[in-house]
Amino acid sequence: MASASLAQKAAASVTTSSRSNFYFAFLLLPKARRQAIYAVYAYCRVIDDIVDSDDPVEKKQAALAVWEDELLASFQCGSPQHPVAVALAEAHQRFGVRYEDALLVLRGCQADLHKRRYASWAELYDYCYHVASAVGLMCIELFGCKHPGSRDYAVHLGQALQLTNILRDVAEDAARDRIYLPQETLAEFGLNEQDILGGKRSTAALWLVRHVAARARKEYALARAALPDSDRRALVPAEIMGSIYFGLLEEVESRGDEVLTLGPRFKLSARRKIERALHAILHSVLPLGDKLLAPAY
């Protein structure tokens, strides 16, 4: 088993090397909480990379099964082997990160090995809850939230972030024969699987993009409405994530049906991320932030 210091370094390395949108949000946390959230992010990154690898499904299943054992060791038995699992155990012991939430994320990744289509929005929201909202629920423990309403905030913000990802990655997912956009909604706009898999641009596809973006916007709004005043400062990192991802949603939405075509992944510049992060910080810490500034998202 790796030492705590080596485990923390391993988790930090995974996080910083990924250049994720989340990285900017983590910088403001005190060192101990930042190390813990690096562990959460690294865990999610490692199991997601297993799913997205080119390995045979059987090998991916086996790798995720190993992580099921690592989670048990991290949260219950006390003897994990993987450095990231060791760091996750430390986050659990110091800040109360919950096993149930970590397991939900793993279950969502396991579902990705076999489920490549979603019939309805209910199915998709359940998937988003597993792979994104549950991550938020892990994180609010690290942020030090006290108000029970922060859990509702985490659920809606997780849904919003994942819907943003799904819209951004339509073409990339289609290249892996995955279509997260619900079949019922494709039919509603007169589209079918081949339109998505083939990256067919059309007026119908444009309206589909706007529809999905509107659903994401609704989740951002529900997250903002659920944000407890008493946890506003604790949730500054989450607000930074929300602000950056909302900016990404605006960028993706502006490209319209171009998102169906495979090309470089849409992303915000580092300068734009910093601008949105600063806006979220000011909006969260100013006593009259809601009145003086437009919402961060």
Q: How many domains does the chain have?
A: 2
Cβ neighbours for 178, distance < 8 A, ≥ 6 positions apart: 112, 116
Per-residue pLDDT, 283 = 81
183 touches 118 (CB < 8 A): yes
Read off the DSSP letter of residue 237.
H
Residues 15 and 80 in one domain: yes
For the domain that residue 287 is a member of, what is the CATH number?
Answer: 1.10.600.10
Residues 19 and 166 in one domain: no
Structure tokens, 70:
């690592």
Residues 140 and 223 in one domain: yes
Domain final residue pick, 114, 140, 155: 114
Burial 84-119 (b: 16+ CB within 10 A, else e): bbbbbbbbbeebebeeebbbbbbebbbebeeeeebe
Long-range contacts of 261-266 (CB under 8 A, 24+ apart): 261/171, 261/199, 261/201, 262/171, 262/172, 262/174, 262/175, 262/199, 263/171, 265/168, 265/169, 265/172, 266/168
Cβ neighbours for 209, distance < 8 A, ≥ 6 positions apart: 167, 252, 253, 256, 257, 259
Residues 58 and 45 in one domain: yes
For residue 281, the enclosing domain spans 117-297
Residues 156 and 67 in one domain: no
Residues 51 and 66 in one domain: yes
Q: DSSP states of 167-215 as a string?
A: HHTHHHHHHTT-B-S-HHHHHHTT--HHHHHTT---HHHHHHHHHHHHH
pTM higher than 0.85 = yes
The span from the CA of 262 to the CA of 153, in Å, is: 33
Residues 110 and 143 in one domain: no
Residues 121 and 174 in one domain: yes
Per-residue pLDDT, 294 = 62
Residues 213 and 102 in one domain: no
Per-residue pLDDT, 285 = 73
Per-residue pLDDT, 293 = 55
> Can you give the pLDDT of all 297 residues of the chain as single tens digits?
555 566 666 565 666 565 566 666 787 788 899 999 999 999 999 999 999 999 999 999 999 999 999 999 999 877 899 999 999 999 999 999 999 999 999 999 999 999 999 999 999 999 999 999 999 999 998 999 999 999 999 999 999 999 999 999 999 999 999 999 999 999 999 999 999 999 999 999 999 999 999 999 999 999 999 999 999 999 999 999 999 999 999 999 999 999 999 888 888 888 998 899 888 888 887 655 555 456 667
